[in-house]
Amino acid sequence: MYLNLNPIAFSVGPIQVRWYGIFMALSILLGMIYFFREGKKRGVDEDDLYNIVLLVVIFGVIGARLMFVLANYPGWFINDPIQVLKIYEGGLAWHGGLLGGFLAGWWYTRRKNLNLFMLADLVVPGLSIGNILVRIGNIFNGEVLGRMTAFSFGRWPAQLVGSAIGLILLIRYFYVQEKDPPNGYQFWSFLFYYQLLRGIFEETVRENPLFIVKYINETWGFGFLTLTQWVTVPLLILFYYFMVRCKKGYYD
C-alpha cells in the first residue's frame, strides 16, 4: 500500500511531528497503562514498574534503530551518523527492539529480585498494539511496502497484513489470559506465533531483499526467502523451548 500521504501530522515552529511518532507514542502509552495496572495487582512496587518501563522503552528503541541501520544502511555509522539518530523518520527493526528491551528488563529484574517472566507477560498487549499502530504509521511514511502483483489491487498492503497479525495476537492474549497461564507463557507464545505469522504471511508479500534462495512469483507477488524467513525456524525452536519450560512451571 503506497498512498503518498503526508508523513507530517503538524509542526510546532521548526519541530515536525510525524504520524509515525504519534502512533508509536500512543502504542507505548497504552502498553504502559496496562503494564502499570496489572503490575500493581501483582504486588510490584510502583517505582519498580516505572523504572522497568523507562529502561525497556529507551533500550528497546535503541536496539530497534541499531538493528535496522545495521541490517539496511550500515554505511550510515561512518558516512552519516546523524541519520542513525533520525528515528522519527521511521526505520526500526522489531527483533532489535525486542532484544534491547528484554536485556534491559532482565538486568533490572535480576537486580531487584523480581520475576522477569511474570512481568514480561504484561508487555504483550503493548507489543501487539505497537505492531498494529506502527504498521499504520509505516503507511504514512510510505515504507514497509508490499510486492507488486498482476491483480487489480496492484501492490500487497503489507502494512495492513502486519497490523492484522498484531490484532490477532492481541485477541489471543486476552483469550489465553482467561485460562490463568503460567508465568512466561504469554510472552514466549506471543513471540512464537508472531514469528510464525510474520514469516509465513507478512514477509512473503513484503518487498524485502531476498537472500541465498531467491524466488519471486510476479503474478501473486510472493517472494522467498527474506532474512526474516531464514531466521524463523531457529527462532521458533527457541521460543517453543521456553514455552514448554513455562508450561512445566519453571518460572512461577
CB within 8 Å of 29: residues ≥ 6 apart: none
Q: Does residue 122 have a cis bond before it (omega within 30 degrees)?
A: no
- Of 59, 130, 127, 134, whose CA–CA distance to 90 is shortest? 134
- Of 132, 129, 251, whose CA–CA distance to 188 is shortest? 251
CB 31 within 8 A of CB 131: no
Q: Look up residue 180 and give its three cell numbers.
A: 490463568
Phi and psi torsions of 223, nearest 5°: -135, 140
37 is in an annotated binding site: no
Q: Which residues are annotated as a binding site?
A: 135
